[in-house]
Amino acid sequence: MDALSPEEQAKFQAYIDDLNRKYQMYYPVAFWVEAILYGLYCAMFLSTMRIMIKKRPAETIASRIFLVVSILIFLLSTVHNITSISRLIRAYALLYSPPAPFVYFQNYTWWDNYAHLILQALTTWLGDYLVIYRCFLIWRRNRWVIVAPTILLIGSIGTTFVNWYWFQHPEKFTMEQILPVFYITFPLNLAQNILTTGLISWKIYKQHRETVRSGLQISAGLNLMGVIRIIVESAMLYTIETAIIIILFVLNHPAGVIVQGALCPTTGKFHIPSRLFPPVHRRPSNLHGSEKRTDMRKGIVFCLIAIRTHVARADSVARPSGYTASKCFLP
């Protein structure tokens, strides 16, 4: 500051004041949004755990993976929320980085700022892993189907590691060098999310068509088209959030911190294990036909999907039906 002329100092101070006015509003809103969503996530997590424990399916390797990773996501989201509280106190109450509170959030040498980044990335990666693994299971363990989503996930991990390194060593890269890495990270996440959701939905749709052609009947009122609708609608929230972040990042708008604050609890909110597909019964006229068995008990892991499916199946059981509902909420 001493090397600047009085005019340059005045311009710099005006720039700081303008940023301070903007971020003074957006950062507290981001913390409150994350806290509210985390509260909703806690309630949904407990509800889903109750459903899972009540149904008690036979344990498999897949069910253990989903259970352990889902609990881990919840723990990471909890610690992420704790770091948000720490950042809010240290920036606004203790004013660790004068002249303005927002300056604190730009300094990633502080432990809570850096931990905040790492926790958010780990939560996203674990959620992406679960979706890719679920896609792998739904496609009958076809490794070629998940090649593209896996490459996108690896690319996202690689660019994030570069970002982490730059946050600790900003002198290693110029802004012109690091900006392309910043710009590509969230588009990779968005592309991976859309691709895996599309692959899962397409496989379920194909299963629906095969079911109709072969004369199979769904045992409860929730058919496979209903499953597709629940999957797409539930996954849409994370997709929309990521798209908004990309737009705000390109516009360099400070409101991006609000949507970023919502990402961690939102990611966790949609990654709890549940079996979505009800069993099928053959019509008598088809019993002499093909003996091909159709396994439809592998579904995507989303907490909201688990609860919505549970409610939808309960509603379908309440209606008169010639079939009985099955207990199939866990992988």
Lowest mean pLDDT among 147-161, 163-177, 207-221: 207-221
DSSP secondary-structure letter at 322? S
pLDDT given at position 84: 93
CB atoms < 10 A from the CB of 318, how many? 10
pLDDT band at 58 (very low <50, low <70, confident <90, very high): low
95-116 pLDDT per residue, tens:
888 777 878 888 888 999 999 9
Provide the CB-side half-sphere exposure for 71 (13 A, CA). Answer: 7
pLDDT band at 65 (very low <50, low <70, confident <90, very high): confident
225-239 pLDDT per residue, tens:
666 776 676 677 788
268-290 pLDDT per residue, tens:
544 433 344 444 444 433 333 33
To 10 degrees, the CA torsion angle through 36, 41, 42, 45?
Answer: 170
Look at residue 323 and tell me whether its pLDDT is greater than 60.
no
Lowest mean pLDDT among 40-54, 210-224, 285-299: 285-299
- pTM for the structure as a whole: 0.76
Token digits for 121? 């990335």
* Distance set, CA 137 to CA 32, 89, 184, 243, 272 (Å): 37, 44, 29, 27, 16
Look at residue 3 and tell me whether its pLDDT is greater than 70.
no
Mean pLDDT, the chain, as a whole number? 75
Look at residue 138 and tell me whether its pLDDT is greater than 50.
yes
Look at residue 29 and tell me whether its pLDDT is greater than 70.
yes
Find out whether 193 and 239 touch, Cβ atoms under 8 Å.
yes
pLDDT given at position 277: 40
Token digits for 200? 């899962």
Percent of the chain with pLDDT over 90: 26
Nearest to 157 by CA among 179, 129, 199: 129
pLDDT given at position 309: 52
Token digits for 236? 């849409």
* Packing angle of the helix pair 6-55, 303-318 (nearest 10 deg): 40
DSSP lists the bridge partners of residue 282 as 216
pLDDT band at 81 (very low <50, low <70, confident <90, very high): very high
Task: Give the start-end residues of each E strand in the chain.
Answer: 216-218, 280-282
* Packing angle of the helix pair 256-269, 6-55 (nearest 10 deg): 10
Look at residue 34 and tell me whether its pLDDT is greater than 50.
yes
Percent of the chain with pLDDT over 70: 71
Q: Report angle CA 74, 129, 122 to the nearest 5 degrees.
A: 50
Mean pLDDT, residues 250-279 taken together? 68
Q: Between 66 and 190, whose confidence is greater?
A: 190
173-208 pLDDT per residue, tens:
888 888 889 889 999 999 998 999 899 888 888 887
Find out whether 297 and 327 touch, Cβ atoms under 8 Å.
no
pLDDT band at 32 (very low <50, low <70, confident <90, very high): very high
pLDDT band at 57 (very low <50, low <70, confident <90, very high): low
Domain definitions of the chain by residue range: 47-280+294-318
